[in-house]
Amino acid sequence: MFYSNWMSYIKDDTKITKIAMPGSHNSATMGMNKFARCQGGSLYDQAMHGVRMFDIRLKATKKGELIVAHGLINGMPAEQAFENLQRLLDTTNEFFVISLQTYMNQGFGPVTLRYKSNTAETNRLIRKYLSPEKYALTDVEDIGTLTIGDIRRSGKKYILLNANKEYDFSSDVLMYGPWNPTVFGYKPEKFIKEIQKYLLEFEDSGFHWLQTQQTPNPGTENGWLKWPDDLDEIIRGYFPQLISDIAADPVMLERANIIAGDFMSRDNFKTNLILRLNLLKGIVKDELVEEYTNFIR
């Protein structure tokens, strides 16, 4: 199936930070309540719809149990998410970017919610399920110079990103992914124009994470009464314009890398639009251009 191995169509000399790849936001929130659920499918399901970057956020309960989190909302046991990642590693040779972190502290007026980590348990799960000695890409001096061919020859299947290198085998490679509650609460027609500026202001050699999901935030234009799936239904109507705008600007096209959103396994609509950028970048293997094009039509 094309979406399970689309990276195999990319030329060996393409830098990993120059590939346009679908990503998912709050990737492991399947099964959470409507307020917190940003994805309807498992990590495996998302990968089979072309996703190559996962945003996984964890926290420890009062008993020290490690779970997936979306703020105050508790999700699946972390072990379940890691089991799903293991299934990917066992069934595909694709390369994945995995952002793994304790859920960030949240401020609500004078109150700050602080979430606990369990580093030892996270490390246990990494070692048990992700075969890090074999598959984790580590000790990267400059990710911006690394090609997909380099990665293929190394046999590595993922990079585990954590800004503080909190976990064993994690990397502090930069992933630029700005988020502003005001901007992400704009009306959609204004939102898709505003987030394009993030591509124009980024000049580093790390990964670029362009988040395309709107979020319900009090005091913003969209307010907080819409759920993530409601907002996603709206933004889908504007997604073709966003990708067209990126494609039309040489700087944005060159910098387009991880383009992520909510509900990425609903269908292949967003994935196809994102993957078309690789044709315009000229990084699809010449002999496979027609086949690649036919799949994402």
226 contacts 215 by C-beta, under 8 angstroms = no
pLDDT of residue 80: 98
pLDDT of 205 above 90: no
Alpha-carbon distances of 195 from 192, 200, 212, rounded to whole Å: 6, 10, 8
128 contacts 1 by C-beta, under 8 angstroms = no
pLDDT of residue 108: 66
Overall pTM > 0.95? yes
pLDDT by residue (tens digit) across 42-59?
Answer: 999 999 999 999 999 999
Helices 239-248, 269-281: axis angle to 10 degrees equals 10
Q: Where are the domains of the chain?
A: 2-295
Burial 280-292 (b: 16+ CB within 10 A, else e): bbebbeeeeeeeb
pLDDT of residue 287: 98
pLDDT of residue 220: 84
pLDDT by residue (tens digit) across 149-193?
Answer: 999 999 999 999 999 999 999 999 999 999 998 999 999 999 999
Average pLDDT, the chain: 95
The tokens for 104 are: 């960030």
Tell which CATH architecture fits domain 2-295. Alpha-Beta Barrel (3.20)
- pLDDT more than 90, % of the chain: 87
CA 274 to chain centre: 13
Q: For residue 54, how many other CB atoms are within 10 A of its CB?
A: 27
Q: What angle do CA 27, 56, 140 make, to 5 degrees?
A: 120
